Amino acid sequence: MRTTISSMVLVAALISMPLQASPLSDARTAGQVTEQPSGYVKAGTDVSPAISALVADVNKRRRQAYSRIAKKNGISVDQVAKESYVRRSKQAGAPGSKLRSKLPDQKL
């Protein structure tokens, strides 16, 4: 129970990190980037090299943060990443927010 609460607090802190700085928010609003159920972001098709680099950087930093949280709480990186997506999706009520609702191997 304590581990679960700790991981939730850490995920909440992660969500509020500057990973969602203006360029990422702008790219999301423009539909160039989507949040995935895996906890990472994905670039759309035909995006600029700058957007591709932004996505790679955001995903790298998220992976590092998820790994630290997972190690500290004795849970898998995937669990942390998916919980992060759930938290982001609850905050995504703003117009223009793009979230993928299923994993690629699931039927929509």
- Model pLDDT for residues 75-91, shown as the tens digit of each residue: 999 999 999 988 877 77
Q: How many CA atoms lie within 13 A of 102 on its CB side?
A: 5
CA–CA distance, 76 with 74 (Å, rounded to integer): 7
Per-residue confidence band for 5, with pLDDT thresholds at 50, 70 and 90: low
Q: Does the pLDDT value for residue 101 go beyond 80?
A: no
Of 77, 76, 53, the residue nearest 65 (C-alpha): 77
Q: How much is the pTM? A: 0.67
- Model pLDDT for residues 23-44, shown as the tens digit of each residue: 998 998 899 999 899 999 999 9
DSSP secondary structure letters along 62-82: HHHHHHHHHHHHT--HHHHHH
- Model pLDDT for residues 57-71, shown as the tens digit of each residue: 999 999 999 999 999
Could you tell me the sign of the dihedral formed by the alpha carbons of 28, 19, 12, 44, in that order? positive
